[in-house]
Amino acid sequence: MTFHKRLSALVEETVAQLSAREALPGGLDCSQASVDIPRDPGHGEVSANTSMVLAKQAKMKP
């Protein structure tokens, strides 16, 4: 499993755990969330859009 796939899996597991604790609404779909390498190296080594994708579904601010 590549680093990015493992990191994506960890994000999904964390969202599921937060939903179980009722910190996030249940039934959130992480399939559109992504973990990528930013085009601009000045933006870090890894970027994720998880908060933006899930904010709309959860009707919460990112």
What is the structure's pLDDT at 39?
A: 93
Place of tokens 């899930």: 54
Residue 4 scores a pLDDT above 90: no
What is the structure's pLDDT at 1?
A: 79
- How far is it, in rounded angstroms, from Cα 25 to Cα 12? 14
35: β partners: 48
pTM: predicted TM-score of the whole model, two decimal places = 0.79
What is the H or E stretch that residue 15 is in? Answer: helix 3-20
- How far is it, in rounded angstroms, from Cα 29 to Cα 58? 10
pLDDT over 90 percentage in the chain: 87
SS3 track for 44-61: CCCEECHHHHHHHHHCCC
